[in-house]
Amino acid sequence: MNSHSITFLLLLLLGTSCTYAQSDEEQIQQLETEQQTLEERQLKIHDELEQLRLAVIRQDLEALGTPTSTIEQTELVKHAGMFLLYDEQHEQARWVTHIILPQVNVGNLSRTNDFRIDPKVSTGTADKPDYWYSGFDRGHIAPSADFKWSKTAISESYFYSNMAPQRPELNREKWAELEGWGRSQVFNNKEQLVVISGPILTDDLPKITQGKNKKLSVPKQFYKIFLDNEGDEKKAIAFLMDNSSCNKPLITYAMTVDEIEKLTGIDFFPNLDKALQDKLESTVDWAMWDRASDKGMPDAVPLSMKQRPKNTINTLETDLFIDKNITVCGTVVSTKKTKSGAVFLNLDTKFPNQIYSVTIWASAIQNFSYSPEIELLGKKVCIRGKLTKKDGDAPSTNVTNEKKIEIIDEEDF
């Protein structure tokens, strides 16, 4: 091959390389354009999905029926992600209802902190000066974290119509724990959850005496109701907490929806089938919310006055009767027999969150015709004896014989 031929081949190869290089650049540009188009389409789909989900939330809330009452000076306000009833007398909502969607588990939006007056409240709402330097948090009634999948709804949650004066020790601790518990229910069950929350408002509440109108009431208590209306296993549960430090396990604040309705004068689910409504609102089945696991029985709701004999107390009231001979009633949720032969029973809440316990020393086991650690587990019982309490421990009763323990049936009361 002569030199001219070699030169021609080299030029041909160089030209081909330049063609390939130019083609790669064009391909990169093309792919980048396609990627940008896909990203724009993805954002558009995300926005469309958000609006559709918000529309379904509104439809579901309308189908349930907005809570009803005869309270005057109130205004019903409907936002994209929540409905509320604003009370002008107290400058806060009596209730806020919303739905936690399963999308909350993948949402990644952060707090917006765009606190502002609600433009839909015709009489005006509270504002920053009403809270500033008051010592109270601007406590979300419907928590922003429940809406972290929607930029519209999470921003709406910062309207002052969704705020109430909460003690920091409630807002940042047990109330926040309760909010997280609700989201965990949605995560575990992959089903949406209806939530209604609000303060207990009465005419005698103190006011925050600063701000523009000095009408902002300070609630003494707050409630939160959860309704699982999806699938075959429908259930409801309510919680009531004082506007202060609440240090006991969540279960101890649980009660029926009926009890909250009596406190507030509100019918929370007016459109539910009457038979279903009566069933859901009159009972609390903690086991349906907190399934039994390898840790033993689920915790139990402390017995109300209607569920136990007269002249007895429940486990929540034991702190009031230390060093007194009293009868305590509750559900045995855990038992333990030590190597030495002593038996310990926890009523309503398990270790390490126990609120009341029973001790049967080994020397007293001979006074039992049955094995208390086996026979009493899961039973509702009443314990007679002297209540004692050591520093740092829960109240307890030392039982010396089986006559001090009575197994009860709620249907008898």
- 202 and 90 in a single domain? The answer is yes
pTM: 0.74
Phi, psi of 257 (to 5 degrees): -65, -35
pLDDT at 18: 47
**33 shares a domain with 86:** no
Is residue 294, in this structure, part of any structural domain at all? no
Give a yes or no: residue 87 inside a domain.
yes
Same domain, 326 and 224: no
Would 18 be classed as within a structural domain? yes
Helix (H) or strand (E) holding 84: strand 82-87
What pLDDT is recorded for position 258?
97
Question: Residue 369: inside a domain, yes or no?
Answer: yes
Distance CA 65, CA 59 (A): 10
Low-confidence ranges of the chain (pLDDT < 50): 17-19, 292-295
222 & 77 share domain? yes
How many independent structural domains does the chain possess? 3
Whether 88 and 200 map to the same domain: the answer is yes
Tell which residue, 89, 215, 87, has the closest CA to residue 161: 87
Q: Does any domain span residue 297?
A: no
Exposure string over 321-331, b if 16+ CB within 10 A, otherwise e? beeeebbbbbb
Tens of pLDDT, residues 7-53 = 555 555 555 544 455 688 888 888 888 888 887 777 788 788 999 99
Are 124 and 263 members of one domain? Answer: yes
Asked if 367 and 378 touch (Cβ cutoff 8 Å), the reply is no
Please indicate, yes or no, if residue 300 is contained in any of the structural domains. no
Q: Which of 362, 363, 358 is nearest to 405 (CA)?
A: 358
Q: Based on the fold, state whether residues 185 and 310 are members of the same structural domain.
A: no
Say whether both 227 and 80 belong to one domain. yes
Give residue 368's domain range. 305-412
Same domain, 139 and 214: yes
Shared domain check, 183 and 147? yes
pLDDT at 6: 54
Residues 278 and 244 grouped into a single domain: yes
What is the reported pLDDT for 157? Answer: 97
Tens-place pLDDT, residues 121-174: 999 999 999 999 899 999 999 999 999 999 999 999 999 999 999 999 999 999
Domain of residue 310, CATH code: 2.40.50.140
DSSP for 307-360, please give it. GS-TT-EEGGGGGGGTTSEEEEEEEEEEEEE-TTS-EEEEESS-TTS-S-EEEE
From 228, 261, 289, the end of a domain falls on: 289
Q: Pick from 58, 74, 100: which residue ends a domain?
A: 58
Same-domain pairing of 176 and 156: yes
Q: Confirm whether 296 is domain-assigned.
A: no
Map tokens 């002593």 to a residue: 342
Domain's final residue, options 258, 289, 320: 289
Residue 147 lies in a domain: yes
**How many residues in total does the chain contain?**
413
SS3 of 210, please? coil
Q: Which CATH number is 143's domain given?
A: 3.40.570.10
Measured CA to CA, the distance from residue 200 to residue 240 in angstroms comes to 9
